[in-house]
Amino acid sequence: MKKIIFTMLIALLVAAVPTTIEAKKKKTTRKTVQEQKYDYLSALERKIVGKHMLSLQWISWKYFGSVTIKKEANGTLSCKGEQLARNCRDAEQGNIDNGDYVKLDGIIDIADEKNLVFTGVIRTKVYHINNGQEVVREGTFNFEAKDNRKFWRMYPVSNPVDECADYIDIYFKR
C-alpha cells in the first residue's frame, strides 16, 4: 500500500515538473519580449524614442506637457505632443483660463544625441503675444541640448510675429 501511494506521489510530481518548466519559460519569454520592445532601434534612437516632457516658458515650467516620439513602420520618427495652460489665479483678475498652448506635430531626424531636427508644424498661443492669437510655424527647426542641459531647446527662439523669445523645450527621458 505504501509503495502504491509513494509511486502515485512520484507520478504526480513528475507530471507537475513539465508544467512548472513551461510556466518558467512563459515568464522568461514575456520578460524577453518586453526587453526586446526597442531592440529594432539603434542605441541613439532608444534614448530619443518614447514620451518626453514638453514646455513653453510662457505657459509653465511647473506643469509640463508631453510629446511622444515613435518610430513608424516606414522608419521615420514621428513627434506629436502639447502643453496646455492650467487654470491659474491672478491677483487682479481672479481665476482665469487663458487657453494658452504649444503643440508640435511632425517628424524628427537625429543629427546626434544633442541635436534633433524637427520638420512639421509648431503652434503656440499665449494671451499676451500676438494679441492672444495663435502663431503657426511650419518648416524645419533645430532642437539643441547645449552644455549640460537635460533638454533640447528649439532654435531659433525668436517668435516670428512678436519681439520675444519662445523657449520650447523637449526634455530627456528620465
pLDDT at 174: 79
Q: In which domain, by residue range, is 159 found?
A: 40-171
Same-domain check for residues 74 and 50? yes
* 131 and 165 inside one domain: yes
Domain check: are 127 and 153 in the same one? yes
**What is the C-alpha to C-alpha distance for residues 106 and 82, in angstroms, rounded to an integer?**
12
User: What does the pLDDT look like over 105-155, one tens digit per residue?
Assistant: 999 999 999 999 999 999 999 999 999 999 999 999 999 999 999 999 999
Calpha distance 66→111 (Å, rounded): 22
Is 128 in the same domain as 139? yes
Please give the Cα distance from 120 to 117 (Å, whole number): 10
56 plus 70 within the same structural domain: yes
Read off the C-alpha cell for 165. Answer: 523669445
SS3 assignment, position 71: strand
Residues 7 and 83 grouped into a single domain: no
pLDDT at site 41 = 86
**What is the C-alpha separation between 152 and 131, in angstroms, rounded?**
28
- Residue 148, exposed/middle/buried by CB under 10 A (0-12, 13-18, 19+)? exposed
The answer on 20 and 74 residing in a single domain is no
Q: For cell 509503495, what's the residue?
A: 3
Mean pLDDT, consecutive 10-residue stretches, the chain (174 aa), reads 64 58 53 52 92 95 94 96 78 61 97 96 95 96 96 95 95 91
- Kindly state the cell numbers that stand for 15: 507530471
Q: Is 134 found in the same domain as 112? A: yes
Output the pLDDT for position 82. 97
Domain count for the chain, please give it. Answer: 2
Q: What are phi and psi of 173, to 5 degrees?
A: -65, 150
Instruction: Count CB-CB contacts under 10 A for residue 167.
Output: 13
- What pLDDT is attached to residue 17? 56
